[in-house]
Structure 1
Amino acid sequence: MRAKRCGRCAGWLVLGFLLFLTAPAPTSWSPPLTPTATDTSVPAIGRTWPVGVRPAVLRGWEPPATVYGRGHRGVDLAAPAGAPVRTVAAGRVSFAGRVAGKGVVSVELTGTDLRTTYEPVTASVEKGAEVEAGEVVGTVAPTGSHCTTTCVHWGLRRGETYLDPLSLLPPWLLHRGPSRLLPVLGVPLPK
């Protein structure tokens, strides 16, 4: 009787193993929609540059290889001293004060887990203030810049992860130069 039961169990094990081997591969896996600390995707929610209309980017974003490694954790935008500094998207001011002798304004962006920072800035807002996209949060400080000329360092973080702040701006706002129309397939060009 016991041999019969073991034979039946062995049969089921063999059948299960064969089904496992012949089962189709699982479909592609999708990551969860909730962002993680290493999520580098950024929604293009910005509506304006922090300074000027299309300021020159003096130094771009260079992510460090390690937490304390060399790099540039933001972008430097050319701006004259006294120029207004605007928040690129709506949010709440989480910091307005001095850090290492430089004026800094940080804004937690509404509906996201992102925070932008602008420096060196003479703040015109206080911590806790609600700001709209394009609202002035201060002016470019005449001193304290790490650029060879006056500039604004614009940073973006998700938690402790630095991200490229230019990714907040939609492509049409980043584009320089005139628009170019392309021909529509099947429609002849005018002569």
Structure 2
Amino acid sequence: MYLAISAAAAMCVALAVVQTRNAKRLGADLRVKTVEAESFQLTARTMEERLHTEEAARMQLADRITKVETALRESEDTGCRLRQELQTERRKYKELQAELDSTKDAHDAAISAMWSARNEVDNLGQENCKLTEALNTERETAKHWKEEFHKEQAYRLSTEGRIMREVNNLLRYDGTAHGQEELSDE
């Protein structure tokens, strides 16, 4: 029975070590995912600032196109040159619009990745809480079995003491009650 209790205690200690290792691993994973989430947030902010800059550039280009069209109406001599500049500006506008669209797509993808990383961080936090609860339960169980082990050990030692006193009494027995130790129930 002592061996079974020792084995159970050893299993509880081993399980507690495994749970602690898992909790540390999940904590490290949680820190990595938190860093990734912060990185995604920074990328999203950068993309958002770039989006605003591109939008301002697009607005400036739209203003320039308007001015070019007004100048075209005012002077027929400069009309051809202004048409060429207008076409160039429109191409730039389309290129910037395409770049703005790709920037918006990248921004949306970064936000989506940030949210999925945040959800994963939340899930890891929940797993960490569950593992912490399991670890605390295992610690309580280990403490209980340790107390049981100490009780069993104390009982075994008191039983061995009684047996040794009885053997001692048998060895010193001279036919009288003199010299015999009294056994006390402990």
Tell me which protein shows more strand as a share of its residues: 1
Higher CA-based Rg: 2
Of structures 1 and 2, the one with the larger relative CO (CA 8 A, separation 6+) is 2
Scaled to the shorter chain, the TM-score interval is under 0.3
Tell me which protein shows more helix as a share of its residues: 2
TM-score (norm 2): 0.22
TM-score (norm 1): 0.21
